[in-house]
Amino acid sequence: MQGISWRIDYVAATAGIAEKAVSCAAERAESYDARWPDHAPLTITFDWVRCT
């Protein structure tokens, strides 16, 4: 058996920028064969209009 592990990638942000986050998702490949090795890329959406 191969060494199977999960590593979630992350986004580092200051407290002020983190407050602008409105959604996030851990992405998954569409199939087992197309999966990313050891990664779970994140998609974070920020509301930059609130940056005042």
Q: Enumerate the domain spans of the chain.
A: 1-52
- What was the pLDDT predicted at 15? 92
Q: What is the pTM of this model?
A: 0.58
- What was the pLDDT predicted at 1? 46
Spacing of C-alpha 27 from chain mean position: 7
Show the tokens assigned to 16. Answer: 């002020």
The answer to whether residue 23 scores a pLDDT higher than 90 is yes
**CA pair distance 42, 7, nearest whole angstrom:** 11
- What was the pLDDT predicted at 27? 79
Q: Which helix (H) or strand (E) holds 18?
A: helix 15-18
